[in-house]
Structure 1
Amino acid sequence: MRLTAEAPTPDWDSFEFALECADMELRCYYDTVTGEVCVTGPFEDDPGERERIDADPRRYLEIDRLPAHERYQWMARFATEEVGDALLREKLLRALEGRGPFRRFKDALLSAPQERERWFAYQANALRRAIEQWFAARDLPVRAAPPWARRDGGYLHK
Protein backbone atom coordinates (compact mmCIF):
# COMPACT_ATOMS: atom_id res chain seq x y z
CA MET A 1 0.00 0.00 0.00
CA ARG A 2 1.53 3.27 -1.16
CA LEU A 3 0.95 6.57 0.62
CA THR A 4 0.63 9.56 -1.71
CA ALA A 5 -0.58 13.08 -0.93
CA GLU A 6 -2.61 13.20 -4.17
CA ALA A 7 -4.55 10.00 -3.45
CA PRO A 8 -7.86 9.84 -1.60
CA THR A 9 -8.23 8.52 1.94
CA PRO A 10 -10.37 5.40 1.70
CA ASP A 11 -13.42 5.02 3.88
CA TRP A 12 -11.85 2.08 5.72
CA ASP A 13 -14.98 1.10 7.66
CA SER A 14 -17.12 1.01 4.53
CA PHE A 15 -14.42 -1.01 2.80
CA GLU A 16 -14.56 -3.61 5.58
CA PHE A 17 -18.35 -3.74 5.13
CA ALA A 18 -17.95 -4.25 1.38
CA LEU A 19 -15.62 -7.22 1.77
CA GLU A 20 -17.90 -8.88 4.31
CA CYS A 21 -21.25 -7.96 2.73
CA ALA A 22 -23.47 -11.03 2.69
CA ASP A 23 -26.33 -9.48 0.68
CA MET A 24 -25.97 -10.90 -2.81
CA GLU A 25 -28.19 -8.13 -4.26
CA LEU A 26 -25.69 -5.45 -3.31
CA ARG A 27 -22.59 -4.48 -5.28
CA CYS A 28 -19.85 -2.35 -3.76
CA TYR A 29 -17.40 -0.13 -5.64
CA TYR A 30 -14.34 1.83 -4.56
CA ASP A 31 -14.28 5.38 -5.90
CA THR A 32 -10.61 5.97 -6.79
CA VAL A 33 -11.15 9.76 -6.79
CA THR A 34 -12.93 10.27 -3.45
CA GLY A 35 -12.07 7.08 -1.52
CA GLU A 36 -15.74 6.41 -0.88
CA VAL A 37 -17.35 3.02 -1.14
CA CYS A 38 -20.48 3.14 -3.30
CA VAL A 39 -23.14 0.52 -2.72
CA THR A 40 -25.67 -0.29 -5.40
CA GLY A 41 -28.67 -2.54 -5.21
CA PRO A 42 -32.43 -2.53 -5.10
CA PHE A 43 -32.63 0.15 -2.37
CA GLU A 44 -30.04 2.72 -3.43
CA ASP A 45 -29.85 5.98 -1.50
CA ASP A 46 -28.85 7.71 -4.73
CA PRO A 47 -30.68 6.31 -7.77
CA GLY A 48 -28.16 7.92 -10.14
CA GLU A 49 -25.19 6.16 -8.57
CA ARG A 50 -25.39 3.09 -10.81
CA GLU A 51 -25.38 5.33 -13.89
CA ARG A 52 -22.29 7.24 -12.65
CA ILE A 53 -20.45 3.99 -12.03
CA ASP A 54 -21.35 2.63 -15.45
CA ALA A 55 -20.33 5.91 -17.12
CA ASP A 56 -16.82 5.88 -15.61
CA PRO A 57 -15.72 2.27 -15.00
CA ARG A 58 -12.04 3.21 -14.55
CA ARG A 59 -12.92 5.45 -11.62
CA TYR A 60 -15.03 2.84 -9.81
CA LEU A 61 -13.50 -0.54 -9.01
CA GLU A 62 -15.78 -3.33 -7.88
CA ILE A 63 -14.98 -4.74 -4.46
CA ASP A 64 -15.60 -8.46 -4.56
CA ARG A 65 -16.80 -10.14 -1.40
CA LEU A 66 -14.33 -12.30 0.42
CA PRO A 67 -14.81 -15.84 -0.81
CA ALA A 68 -16.32 -18.20 1.75
CA HIS A 69 -13.39 -20.58 1.38
CA GLU A 70 -11.00 -17.83 2.47
CA ARG A 71 -13.03 -17.03 5.59
CA TYR A 72 -13.26 -20.78 6.23
CA GLN A 73 -9.45 -21.02 6.05
CA TRP A 74 -9.18 -18.26 8.66
CA MET A 75 -11.29 -20.33 11.05
CA ALA A 76 -9.31 -23.51 10.35
CA ARG A 77 -5.98 -21.71 10.87
CA PHE A 78 -7.19 -20.10 14.05
CA ALA A 79 -8.32 -23.44 15.44
CA THR A 80 -5.15 -25.32 14.52
CA GLU A 81 -2.52 -22.62 15.07
CA GLU A 82 -3.92 -20.33 17.77
CA VAL A 83 -6.02 -22.44 20.13
CA GLY A 84 -3.93 -24.12 22.82
CA ASP A 85 -6.71 -26.08 24.54
CA ALA A 86 -6.87 -29.45 22.78
CA LEU A 87 -10.55 -30.08 23.61
CA LEU A 88 -11.64 -26.68 22.31
CA ARG A 89 -9.46 -27.09 19.21
CA GLU A 90 -11.16 -30.41 18.41
CA LYS A 91 -14.58 -28.89 19.05
CA LEU A 92 -13.81 -26.04 16.64
CA LEU A 93 -12.45 -28.36 13.97
CA ARG A 94 -15.57 -30.56 14.25
CA ALA A 95 -17.71 -27.43 13.90
CA LEU A 96 -16.07 -26.79 10.54
CA GLU A 97 -17.29 -30.10 9.11
CA GLY A 98 -20.44 -30.23 6.98
CA ARG A 99 -23.03 -27.55 6.32
CA GLY A 100 -23.21 -24.31 8.30
CA PRO A 101 -19.63 -24.18 9.59
CA PHE A 102 -19.60 -20.41 10.17
CA ARG A 103 -22.48 -20.46 12.67
CA ARG A 104 -21.30 -23.68 14.35
CA PHE A 105 -17.78 -22.28 14.75
CA LYS A 106 -19.07 -19.15 16.50
CA ASP A 107 -21.42 -21.25 18.63
CA ALA A 108 -18.54 -23.50 19.66
CA LEU A 109 -16.68 -20.44 20.92
CA LEU A 110 -19.57 -19.39 23.21
CA SER A 111 -18.27 -21.70 25.94
CA ALA A 112 -14.82 -20.05 25.80
CA PRO A 113 -15.29 -16.25 26.03
CA GLN A 114 -11.57 -15.42 26.04
CA GLU A 115 -10.94 -17.54 22.95
CA ARG A 116 -14.01 -16.01 21.34
CA GLU A 117 -12.53 -12.53 21.83
CA ARG A 118 -9.21 -13.77 20.44
CA TRP A 119 -11.08 -15.14 17.41
CA PHE A 120 -12.72 -11.80 16.70
CA ALA A 121 -9.33 -10.05 16.93
CA TYR A 122 -7.78 -12.69 14.65
CA GLN A 123 -10.62 -12.31 12.14
CA ALA A 124 -10.31 -8.49 12.19
CA ASN A 125 -6.58 -8.75 11.49
CA ALA A 126 -7.19 -11.20 8.63
CA LEU A 127 -9.79 -8.84 7.15
CA ARG A 128 -7.39 -5.91 7.41
CA ARG A 129 -4.69 -7.93 5.72
CA ALA A 130 -7.16 -8.69 2.90
CA ILE A 131 -7.91 -4.97 2.51
CA GLU A 132 -4.23 -4.12 2.30
CA GLN A 133 -3.73 -6.89 -0.25
CA TRP A 134 -6.65 -5.55 -2.32
CA PHE A 135 -5.00 -2.13 -2.58
CA ALA A 136 -1.53 -3.61 -3.18
CA ALA A 137 -2.78 -5.95 -5.93
CA ARG A 138 -4.20 -2.95 -7.81
CA ASP A 139 -1.26 -0.69 -6.98
CA LEU A 140 -3.72 1.88 -5.64
CA PRO A 141 -2.22 4.68 -3.57
CA VAL A 142 -3.92 6.09 -0.50
CA ARG A 143 -3.47 9.44 1.24
CA ALA A 144 -3.68 8.16 4.80
CA ALA A 145 -2.70 4.86 6.30
CA PRO A 146 -5.50 2.74 7.66
CA PRO A 147 -6.29 3.22 11.35
CA TRP A 148 -4.80 -0.16 12.18
CA ALA A 149 -1.37 0.83 10.83
CA ARG A 150 1.43 0.87 13.39
CA ARG A 151 2.58 4.15 14.84
CA ASP A 152 6.02 3.79 13.26
CA GLY A 153 4.43 4.07 9.80
CA GLY A 154 4.72 0.39 8.99
CA TYR A 155 1.75 -1.85 8.45
CA LEU A 156 0.68 -4.66 10.66
CA HIS A 157 0.47 -7.01 7.69
CA LYS A 158 3.04 -7.47 4.99
Structure 2
Amino acid sequence: MRLAADAPAPDWDSIEFAFECADPENRAYYDTVTGEVCVTGPFEDDPGERERIDAAPQRYLEIDRLPTHERFQRMERFAREEVGDPQLRERLLRALEGRGPFRRFKEALLSAPPVRQRWFAYEAAALRRAIEQWFAERDLAVRTAPPWARGSDATSHAAGG
Protein backbone atom coordinates (compact mmCIF):
# COMPACT_ATOMS: atom_id res chain seq x y z
CA MET A 1 0.00 0.00 0.00
CA ARG A 2 1.41 3.33 -1.04
CA LEU A 3 1.05 6.37 1.21
CA ALA A 4 0.95 9.90 -0.23
CA ALA A 5 0.10 13.21 1.42
CA ASP A 6 -2.11 14.30 -1.50
CA ALA A 7 -4.08 11.03 -1.68
CA PRO A 8 -7.56 10.52 -0.20
CA ALA A 9 -7.99 9.16 3.32
CA PRO A 10 -10.08 6.01 2.82
CA ASP A 11 -13.06 5.23 5.00
CA TRP A 12 -11.53 1.93 6.16
CA ASP A 13 -14.62 0.72 8.07
CA SER A 14 -16.82 1.17 5.00
CA ILE A 15 -14.24 -0.58 2.83
CA GLU A 16 -14.23 -3.58 5.19
CA PHE A 17 -18.03 -3.64 5.10
CA ALA A 18 -18.05 -3.48 1.28
CA PHE A 19 -15.68 -6.44 1.00
CA GLU A 20 -17.80 -8.50 3.40
CA CYS A 21 -21.25 -7.53 2.13
CA ALA A 22 -23.13 -10.62 1.04
CA ASP A 23 -26.16 -8.82 -0.42
CA PRO A 24 -26.05 -9.48 -4.17
CA GLU A 25 -28.35 -6.51 -4.87
CA ASN A 26 -25.89 -3.96 -3.49
CA ARG A 27 -22.78 -2.68 -5.25
CA ALA A 28 -20.02 -0.73 -3.53
CA TYR A 29 -17.67 1.75 -5.19
CA TYR A 30 -14.51 3.39 -3.92
CA ASP A 31 -14.37 7.11 -4.64
CA THR A 32 -10.74 7.71 -5.69
CA VAL A 33 -11.08 11.44 -4.98
CA THR A 34 -12.61 11.42 -1.47
CA GLY A 35 -11.82 7.91 -0.20
CA GLU A 36 -15.49 7.31 0.58
CA VAL A 37 -17.43 4.19 -0.28
CA CYS A 38 -20.66 4.64 -2.23
CA VAL A 39 -23.25 1.88 -2.09
CA THR A 40 -25.93 1.44 -4.71
CA GLY A 41 -28.86 -0.88 -4.57
CA PRO A 42 -32.44 -1.01 -3.34
CA PHE A 43 -31.62 0.33 0.14
CA GLU A 44 -28.95 2.94 -0.58
CA ASP A 45 -28.82 5.94 1.75
CA ASP A 46 -28.44 8.46 -1.06
CA PRO A 47 -30.55 7.78 -4.17
CA GLY A 48 -28.30 10.13 -6.19
CA GLU A 49 -25.19 8.00 -5.80
CA ARG A 50 -25.86 5.87 -8.87
CA GLU A 51 -26.17 9.05 -10.97
CA ARG A 52 -22.88 10.44 -9.61
CA ILE A 53 -21.08 7.18 -10.34
CA ASP A 54 -22.50 7.03 -13.86
CA ALA A 55 -21.52 10.67 -14.48
CA ALA A 56 -17.86 10.09 -13.53
CA PRO A 57 -17.11 6.36 -13.93
CA GLN A 58 -13.31 6.90 -13.98
CA ARG A 59 -13.54 8.32 -10.46
CA TYR A 60 -15.23 5.26 -8.93
CA LEU A 61 -13.83 1.73 -8.69
CA GLU A 62 -16.22 -1.11 -7.96
CA ILE A 63 -15.33 -3.10 -4.88
CA ASP A 64 -16.00 -6.75 -5.59
CA ARG A 65 -17.19 -8.86 -2.70
CA LEU A 66 -14.87 -11.61 -1.62
CA PRO A 67 -15.78 -14.67 -3.69
CA THR A 68 -17.66 -17.36 -1.81
CA HIS A 69 -15.07 -19.98 -2.74
CA GLU A 70 -12.32 -17.87 -1.13
CA ARG A 71 -14.31 -17.52 2.08
CA PHE A 72 -14.98 -21.27 2.04
CA GLN A 73 -11.29 -22.07 1.48
CA ARG A 74 -10.39 -19.79 4.36
CA MET A 75 -12.68 -21.73 6.72
CA GLU A 76 -11.28 -25.03 5.50
CA ARG A 77 -7.68 -23.82 5.87
CA PHE A 78 -8.40 -22.56 9.39
CA ALA A 79 -9.91 -25.91 10.42
CA ARG A 80 -7.05 -27.93 8.97
CA GLU A 81 -4.12 -25.71 9.98
CA GLU A 82 -5.20 -23.79 13.08
CA VAL A 83 -7.39 -26.18 15.08
CA GLY A 84 -5.38 -28.55 17.25
CA ASP A 85 -8.31 -30.50 18.73
CA PRO A 86 -8.95 -33.40 16.30
CA GLN A 87 -12.63 -33.74 17.27
CA LEU A 88 -13.34 -30.05 16.78
CA ARG A 89 -11.37 -30.04 13.54
CA GLU A 90 -13.50 -32.92 12.24
CA ARG A 91 -16.74 -31.16 13.31
CA LEU A 92 -15.66 -28.01 11.50
CA LEU A 93 -14.74 -29.89 8.33
CA ARG A 94 -18.06 -31.79 8.40
CA ALA A 95 -19.88 -28.46 8.83
CA LEU A 96 -18.42 -27.36 5.50
CA GLU A 97 -20.14 -30.21 3.64
CA GLY A 98 -23.50 -29.65 1.96
CA ARG A 99 -25.81 -26.68 2.18
CA GLY A 100 -25.31 -23.77 4.59
CA PRO A 101 -21.62 -24.31 5.36
CA PHE A 102 -21.01 -20.76 6.59
CA ARG A 103 -23.76 -20.89 9.21
CA ARG A 104 -22.91 -24.46 10.27
CA PHE A 105 -19.20 -23.62 10.59
CA LYS A 106 -19.96 -20.72 12.93
CA GLU A 107 -22.41 -22.87 14.90
CA ALA A 108 -19.75 -25.57 15.33
CA LEU A 109 -17.41 -22.94 16.76
CA LEU A 110 -19.90 -22.02 19.50
CA SER A 111 -18.77 -25.04 21.52
CA ALA A 112 -15.18 -23.76 21.63
CA PRO A 113 -15.13 -20.03 22.53
CA PRO A 114 -11.30 -19.63 22.45
CA VAL A 115 -11.12 -21.22 18.98
CA ARG A 116 -14.08 -19.11 17.89
CA GLN A 117 -12.20 -15.97 18.93
CA ARG A 118 -9.14 -17.16 17.01
CA TRP A 119 -11.37 -17.76 13.96
CA PHE A 120 -12.66 -14.18 14.04
CA ALA A 121 -9.10 -12.84 14.30
CA TYR A 122 -7.97 -15.16 11.48
CA GLU A 123 -10.88 -14.08 9.28
CA ALA A 124 -10.30 -10.37 10.00
CA ALA A 125 -6.60 -10.66 9.15
CA ALA A 126 -7.39 -12.41 5.86
CA LEU A 127 -9.98 -9.76 4.97
CA ARG A 128 -7.53 -6.98 5.70
CA ARG A 129 -4.84 -8.62 3.57
CA ALA A 130 -7.37 -8.80 0.72
CA ILE A 131 -8.15 -5.08 1.12
CA GLU A 132 -4.47 -4.16 1.09
CA GLN A 133 -3.95 -6.34 -1.97
CA TRP A 134 -6.89 -4.65 -3.73
CA PHE A 135 -5.29 -1.23 -3.21
CA ALA A 136 -1.85 -2.50 -4.25
CA GLU A 137 -3.14 -4.17 -7.43
CA ARG A 138 -4.73 -0.88 -8.49
CA ASP A 139 -1.69 1.15 -7.39
CA LEU A 140 -3.96 3.37 -5.31
CA ALA A 141 -2.23 5.76 -2.99
CA VAL A 142 -3.83 6.58 0.36
CA ARG A 143 -3.20 9.40 2.81
CA THR A 144 -3.66 7.22 5.88
CA ALA A 145 -2.74 3.61 6.41
CA PRO A 146 -5.54 1.38 7.62
CA PRO A 147 -5.86 1.29 11.41
CA TRP A 148 -4.78 -2.35 11.50
CA ALA A 149 -1.51 -1.53 9.66
CA ARG A 150 -0.42 1.55 11.58
CA GLY A 151 3.05 1.08 12.95
CA SER A 152 3.55 -1.98 10.75
CA ASP A 153 5.29 -2.56 7.45
CA ALA A 154 2.53 -0.77 5.50
CA THR A 155 3.51 2.65 6.79
CA SER A 156 7.14 2.19 5.84
CA HIS A 157 6.24 2.55 2.17
CA ALA A 158 5.29 6.20 2.55
CA ALA A 159 5.77 8.28 -0.52
CA GLY A 160 6.29 12.01 -0.50
CA GLY A 161 3.62 14.18 -1.92
Q: TM-score range by the shorter chain?
A: over 0.9
Unmatched 5+ residue regions in structure 1? none
Secondary structure in 2 matching 1:28: strand
What TM-score do the two structures reach when normalised by structure 1? 0.94
Tell me the residue number matched to 1:37.
37
| Structure with the larger RCO, 1 or 2 (CA within 8 Å, 6+ apart) | 2
Secondary structure in 1 matching 2:139: coil
Q: CA deviation at 1:150?
A: 4.5
> Where in structure 2 are the equivalents of 1:1-158 lying within 5 Å?
1-151=1-151, 153-155=152-154
How many percent of aligned residue pairs carry the same amino acid? 79
Question: Deviations for 1:28-51, whole angstroms, at most 9, x for unmatched residues?
Answer: 000000000001112332222111
Question: Deviations for 1:122-151, whole angstroms, at most 9, x for unmatched residues?
Answer: 000000001001101111111111000142
Following TM superposition, the consecutive aligned residue runs of length 4 or more in structure 1 with deviations greater than 6 angstroms are none
Question: Deviations for 1:17-72, whole angstroms, at most 9, x for unmatched residues?
Answer: 10111111111000000000001112332222111100111100000111000000
In 1: Cα distance, 2:52 partner to 2:27 partner: 14
In 2: Cα distance, 1:31 partner to 1:73 partner: 30
- How many residue pairs match? The answer is 155
Question: Deviations for 1:60-86, whole angstroms, at most 9, x for unmatched residues?
Answer: 000011100000011011001111111
Unmatched 5+ residue regions in structure 2? 156-161
What TM-score do the two structures reach when normalised by structure 2? 0.93
Q: Compute the RMSD of aligned alpha carbons.
A: 1.2
